[in-house]
């Protein structure tokens, strides 16, 4: 028995690695969406922001030879998209969901347009830390190659949870998200808070996109996103608008997403495409299992256009 032959253990290990690798963009986009939705807006345009972030991050990293500058650039452009969304939505009689869909298509279109020249060149990758040094098994070592952004995402989730609970900014966002009337009574400008919350959400989605093009899969092409931006919106609902839960939800999603490739690697090839649908099936099942007709949807911001 060779060292790399670990039989069926390969499946959970690959899923662990997959969870960490695949979940990172989910973490960033869902944390961003979490901030935006807590302020009472839904930004469905994050899919477009993510793709544009992937493109701009890759392009900037290539031009400057610095992956981190790429990440910053992606965050900057993401924030611009967020500001744009927030600015349009404060106009009267504008629906945030419709604007989100328009911006999603706009973001993707712009990314494909500006991104054409960057499909060939190779940009520097983001660094990863090896937490698998204690093991001789290459699969374990591969699984525990953890990107710095993943760790940053974990820290960010804790920071955002703390912000919502113990800072004035966090409470202000929750006030605005829960009741415009109450916000007005407190003298808070709801539009301004939502504008910046949407901008912050966009910036985080941009970082999520940069992760895609700069680390995993690690190149820029037009099919780089498989709907992470949209799935993150569902993730936030599933996580009940709680940043810490967003992490667990993203990890679960990542692990379920890695199920297909992991099974394939140990030779299970039938029903291959079905396993790729695992995250979506899982989401549906969990949402049904945790729903209730008699209890209110805990944590849903009252001003959200879907809960009104």
Partner 1 sequence: MKKQPAIGVETLHMTMRFGNFTALDDVSINITPGSFHALLGENGAGKSTLVKCMMGFYQPTEGQMMVQGHEVSIPDPKAAHAHGLGMVYQHFTLVPSLTAAENLVIAREDAPHRIDWKKERKALDAFMATMPFNVPLDQPVNRLAAGEKQKLELLKQLYLGRHFLILDEPTSVLTPDEATELLGMVRDLTQSGALTCLMITHKFREVTAFADEVSILRRGKHVGGGKVSDLTTDEMAALMIGDKSFARKADRSGVRGDCVLSVQNAVAPDRSGLKSIQIDDLKVAAGEVVGIAGISGNGQMELLETLTGQRPLQSGTVTVKSEPFHATRSEARNQKVRYVPEEPLHNANAPKMSVLNNLMFRNFDNKADGFGLWLNKRKMASRAADLVDAFNVKMASLESPIASLSGGNVQRATLARELSDEVDLLIISNPCFGLDFSAVADIRARIMAARNSGAAVLLISEDLDEILELSDRVLVMSEGRISYETPIETADIGVIGGHMAGHA
Q: Which residues bind partner 1 (CB under 8 A)?
A: 165-169, 171-172, 174-175, 178-179, 181-182, 184-187, 292-296, 299, 301-302
The minimum distance between CB 26 and partner 1, in angstroms, equals 25
User: Which one, 116 or 192, has the nearer CB to partner 1?
Assistant: 192
Q: Which residue has the tokens 């008699």?
A: 294
The minimum distance between CB 273 and partner 1, in angstroms, equals 40
The minimum distance between CB 178 and partner 1, in angstroms, equals 5
Question: What is d(CA 13, CA 251) in angstroms, rounded to the nearest whole number?
Answer: 14
User: Which one, 105 or 186, has the nearer CB to partner 1?
Assistant: 186
User: Which one, 165 or 192, has the nearer CB to partner 1?
Assistant: 165
User: Which one, 95 or 167, has the nearer CB to partner 1?
Assistant: 167
Tell me the β-bridge partners of 147: 128
The minimum distance between CB 296 and partner 1, in angstroms, equals 7
User: Which one, 94 or 185, has the nearer CB to partner 1?
Assistant: 185
Tell me the β-bridge partners of 146: 129
Determine the 3-state secondary structure of 44 from DSSP: coil
Kind and range of the H or E run holding 145 = strand 145-147
Q: Which residue has the tokens 């900014």?
A: 169
User: Which one, 96 or 178, has the nearer CB to partner 1?
Assistant: 178
User: Which one, 47 or 178, has the nearer CB to partner 1?
Assistant: 178
Q: What does residue 145 show for φ and ψ, rounded to 5 degrees?
A: -75, 100
Q: Would you say 264 and 278 are in contact if contact means Cβ atoms under 8 Å apart?
A: no
The minimum distance between CB 87 and partner 1, in angstroms, equals 23
Count Cβ neighbours within 10 Å for each residue of 166-177 and write b for 16 or more, e otherwise: eeeebebbbbbb
Q: Is 100 exposed, middle or buried (0-12, 13-18, 19+ CB in 10 A)?
A: buried
User: Which one, 37 or 47, has the nearer CB to partner 1?
Assistant: 37
The minimum distance between CB 222 and partner 1, in angstroms, equals 41
Kind and range of the H or E run holding 75 = helix 67-89
Q: Would you say 299 and 307 are in contact if contact means Cβ atoms under 8 Å apart?
A: no
User: Which one, 151 or 188, has the nearer CB to partner 1?
Assistant: 188
The minimum distance between CB 303 and partner 1, in angstroms, equals 10
| Nearest of 252, 242, 203, 218 to residue 20 by alpha carbon | 252
The minimum distance between CB 300 and partner 1, in angstroms, equals 8
Sign of the torsion formed by the C-alpha atoms of 292, 283, 39 and 90: negative
Count Cβ neighbours within 10 Å for each residue of 225-258 and write b for 16 or more, e otherwise: beebbbbbbbbbbbbebbbebbbebbbbbbbbbb
The minimum distance between CB 205 and partner 1, in angstroms, equals 24
């Amino acid at each position: 028995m060779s060292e790399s032959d670990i039989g069926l253990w390969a499946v959970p290990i690959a899923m662990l690695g997959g969870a960490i690798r695949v979940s990172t963009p989910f973490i960033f986009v869902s944390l961003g969406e979490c901030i935006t939705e807590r302020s009472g807006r839904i930004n469905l345009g994050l899919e477009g922001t993510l793709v544009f972030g992937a493109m701009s991050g890759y392009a900037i990293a290539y031009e400057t030879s610095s992956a981190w500058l790429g990440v910053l650039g992606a965050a900057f452009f993401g924030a611009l998209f967020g500001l744009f969304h927030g600015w349009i939505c404060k106009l009267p009689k504008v629906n945030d969901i419709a604007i989100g869909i328009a911006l999603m298509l706009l973001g993707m279109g712009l990314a494909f347009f500006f991104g054409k020249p960057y499909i060939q060149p190779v940009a520097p990758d983001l660094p990863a830390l090896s937490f698998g040094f204690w093991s001789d098994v290459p699969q374990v070592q591969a699984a525990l190659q953890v990107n710095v952004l993943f760790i940053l995402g974990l820290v960010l989730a804790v920071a955002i949870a703390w912000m919502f609970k113990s800072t004035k900014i966090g409470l202000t966002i929750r006030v605005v998200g829960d009741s415009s009337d109450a916000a007005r009574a407190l003298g808070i400008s709801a539009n301004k808070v939502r504008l910046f919350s949407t901008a912050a959400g966009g910036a985080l989605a941009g970082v999520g996109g940069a992760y895609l093009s700069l680390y995993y899969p690690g190149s820029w092409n037009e099919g780089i996103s498989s709907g992470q931006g949209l799935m993150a919106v569902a993730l936030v609902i599933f996580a009940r608008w709680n940043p810490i839960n967003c992490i667990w939800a993203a990890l679960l999603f990542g692990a379920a997403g890695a199920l297909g490739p992991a099974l394939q690697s140990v030779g299970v090839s039938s029903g291959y495409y079905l396993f790729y649908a695992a995250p979506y099936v899982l989401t549906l099942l969990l949402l049904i299992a945790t729903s209730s007709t008699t209890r209110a949807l805990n944590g849903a911001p009252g001003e959200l256009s879907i809960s009104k």
